[in-house]
Amino acid sequence: MLVSTITLTTYAEKNVIPLKRAHSHNDYLRPQPLLDALNNGFCSVEADIHIVNGDLLVAHDLDKCKPEKNLANMYLKPIFERVQKNNGHVYEDSSEFWLLIDIKSEPESTYTLLKEQLLPYKKFLTRIENGKKVDGAVTVVISGAVPRETIEKEKDRYAFIDGRLEDLDTNPSPNLVPWISNSWFSIFTWIGKGDMSPQELNKLKEIVSKSHEQGRKVRFWGAPQTLECWEVLYNEGVDFLNTDFPKRLSEFLLNKMK
């Protein structure tokens, strides 16, 4: 079954319109991980990883890990097979593609193994070489238990850091922290129905504005997955709309393009 899934993922539907603002939250929980996102045009997917017996297994919780569900087979191999067969890009229009990897286990050892698994795909990755950014087909962003000091010291690396609101105050280089992500309900109380209060709307505008001024993209996890909320996030320039429902978000974003 796993081999079949990889093959299908590599040859996902053609003529899909890439949706640069669509992020598949906990993508591995979809009926067809990665494939559902690709077939709906998503340009960002998320996988949680644990280091178990020398491999990186994909699951939210350690007790859900299974040896066959590893990062290499579920994401790295199919994504980069697709890139190789598609003239160096995930989508034909060369849209940027993001792989958000949420580290759930010990940071240093997990990151070390992740680097080993990313190395064979180096030429396809957005990376830092001798302190300078080189754009690639896929950008890997590390979230969760981030070994931040280790990553900051690297002159050559294949991954970037998923920042938090505090990073807007310290303002690290966007070549280190290209994203600002935060829990929705740690900032807002609006549940995505009715009107958002002027105070909270202004707060949202401030976060987006400051992030963009610093050259960063914005994402909120746990935001209400209602049309009303997506409308506000879209209109206010939030870069990634986080969803567990790829088809619904795809339809929403495609309607916005008409």
Q: Is residue 27 in a domain?
A: yes
pLDDT on residue 15: 82
Instruction: Dump pLDDT digits (tens) for 183-213.
Output: 999 999 999 999 999 999 999 999 999 999 9
Q: CB-based burial of residue 115 (10 Å sphere; 0-12 exposed, 13-18 middle, 19+ buried)?
A: middle
The total number of structural domains in the chain stands at: 1
Look at residue 134 and give its three-state secondary structure. Answer: strand
- Parallel/antiparallel/unpaired status of strands 138-144 and 132-134: unpaired
Q: How far apart are CA 115 and CA 120, in angstroms?
A: 9
Q: Is residue 149 in a domain?
A: yes
Q: Is residue 258 in a domain?
A: no
- State the DSSP string of 73-138: IIIIHHHHHHHHHTTTSSSTT---EEEEEEE-S-HHHHHHHHHHHHGGGGGGB-EEETTEEE--SE
Q: Is residue 34 in a domain?
A: yes
Query: Can you read off the two tokens belonging to residue 9?
Result: 């993922």
Q: Is residue 166 in a domain?
A: yes
pLDDT on residue 10: 44
Residue range 214-228: mean pLDDT, rounded: 98
Q: What angle do CA 145, 148, 150 make, to 5 degrees?
A: 115
**CA 177 to chain CA centroid, nearest Å:** 13
Instruction: Dump pLDDT digits (tens) for 27-41.
Output: 999 999 999 999 999
Query: Can you read off the two tokens belonging to residue 134?
Result: 């080189």
Stretch (H or E) spanning 118:
helix 107-118
Q: The domain containing residue 172 runs over which residues? A: 2-253
pLDDT on residue 7: 44
Instruction: Dump pLDDT digits (tens) for 72-131.
Output: 999 999 999 999 999 999 998 889 999 999 999 999 999 999 999 999 999 999 999 999
Residue 249's CB is within 10 A of a number of other CB atoms, namely 24
Residue 241 · residue 23 · CB < 8 Å: yes
Instruction: Dump pLDDT digits (tens) for 122-162.
Output: 999 999 999 999 999 999 999 999 999 999 999 999 999 99
Q: The CATH number of the domain where 197 resides is what?
A: 3.20.20.190
Instruction: Dump pLDDT digits (tens) for 62-80.
Output: 999 999 999 999 999 999 9
Residue range 217-223: mean pLDDT, rounded: 98
Per-residue pLDDT at 8 exceeds 60: no
Q: Is residue 98 in a domain?
A: yes
Residue range 49-53: mean pLDDT, rounded: 98
Stretch (H or E) spanning 8:
helix 2-10
Closest to 102 in 3D by CA, of 249, 219, 208: 219
